[in-house]
A and B are shown apart, each in its own frame.
Chain A
Amino acid sequence: EVQLLESGGGLVQPGGSLRLSCEASGFSFRDSVLAWVRQAPGKGLEWIATFGGYGGSTFYAESVKGRFSLSRDTSKNTLYLQMNSLRAEDSAIYFCANSNPPLNYFDYWGQGTRVTVSS
C-alpha cells in the first residue's frame, strides 16, 4: 500500500525557516516523482515543487523559486522541502503527492502538515 506521511509543520515567524518531510512507503522511492502541493486556509490547491525521478530534477513554482528547495534521502525514503524567508502568504496545509509519469497526475496524497507563518 502506497503511503505518504508529511511532518515538520508548525508556527514560524516571518522571515524564518522550516523543513518539511515526506516519508514514502509502498513503492520504489528512487524512481518516484514526488511533489508538494499547498492549500491556504479556505483556498484552492497550489502546486509548488516537484522532485523528479531517478535523475533527481527539481521544478518550482514562481511563488517559491529561490526561497524553497527540495532534497531527498533515499536511505530513509524521505523527501524534504526546505522553506526559507517565509512569508505570511506561505501559511497553508502542505501536501506531499505522488506524480505518476508520464501523464503527471497526482494519484497518491499524504494527509498534509500545517504551516503557519505569523509573528
Chain B
Amino acid sequence: EIVLAQSPGTLSVSPGERATLSCRASQSLSSSFLAWYQQKPGQAPRLLVYSTSTRATGIPDRFSGSGSGTDFTLTISRLEPEDFAVYYCQQYGGLSWTFGQGTKVEIK
C-alpha cells in the first residue's frame, strides 16, 4: 500500500500570501492518480485538483498542482479568506485509495 505523507502539518499564512503544501509518496506513483481536496469544518471534502495538475470544475486558478514520482505539491498563489481549511492529497493504485494525513492552512 502506498503511504502519503503531507507536510507541514499546519501552515500559518497571511491572506494574500502564497502557500505551498507538500505530499510525498512512499513509492513512485503515476501522476494521473494524484488528487487534492479541500475540507472546511463540518463539510464534506471538495475536489480541487486531479491528475496532479488539472483543476476541477469551478476551482480558481490560484490553485495549482505539480509534481511527479514521489513528490507532489499544491500551491495556493494568493490566499483568500475562504482558503483557510484542511487540504488532503489522495492517490489511487493497486485497487486501493489512500489519503495523506492533511495539512491545515490557518490564518497567521
Contacts and interface: CB of A to CB of B under 8 A. Distances in A.
Interface of A: 35, 37, 44-47, 50, 59, 61-62, 95, 99-100, 103-107, 109-112
A44 B88 contact: yes
* Ranked 3 nearest A-B pairs via Cβ: A104-B92, A105-B35, A109-B44
Contacts of A61: 96
Contacts, number: 62
Main secondary structure of the interface of A (DSSP, over half): strand
Interface of B: 1, 32-33, 35, 37, 39, 43-47, 50-51, 56, 88, 90, 92, 95-102
B44 A35 contact: no
A104 B51 CA distance: 10
A107 B45 contact: no
Contact of A106 (B32, B35, B102): B35
Given A45-B88, A105-B51, A110-B44, 18 more contacts: A37-B45, A37-B99, A45-B37, A45-B39, A45-B90, A45-B99, A50-B97, A59-B95, A61-B96, A62-B1, A99-B92, A99-B97, A103-B33, A103-B51, A104-B33, A107-B56, A111-B43, A112-B44
B44 A111 contact: yes
A59 B96 contact: yes
Contacts of B97: 35, 47, 50, 99, 104
Given A103-B33, A106-B90, A44 B47 contact: no
B37 A106 contact: yes
A36 to B, nearest CB: 11
B75 to A, nearest CB: 18
Given A61-B96, A103-B32, A106-B35, A44 B51 contact: no
Nearest to B102: A44
Contacts of A111: 43-44
24 contacts: A37-B45, A37-B99, A44-B99, A44-B101, A44-B102, A45-B39, A45-B88, A45-B102, A46-B99, A47-B96, A50-B97, A99-B92, A103-B32, A103-B50, A104-B33, A104-B92, A105-B35, A105-B90, A105-B92, A106-B90, A107-B50, A107-B56, A110-B44, A111-B44
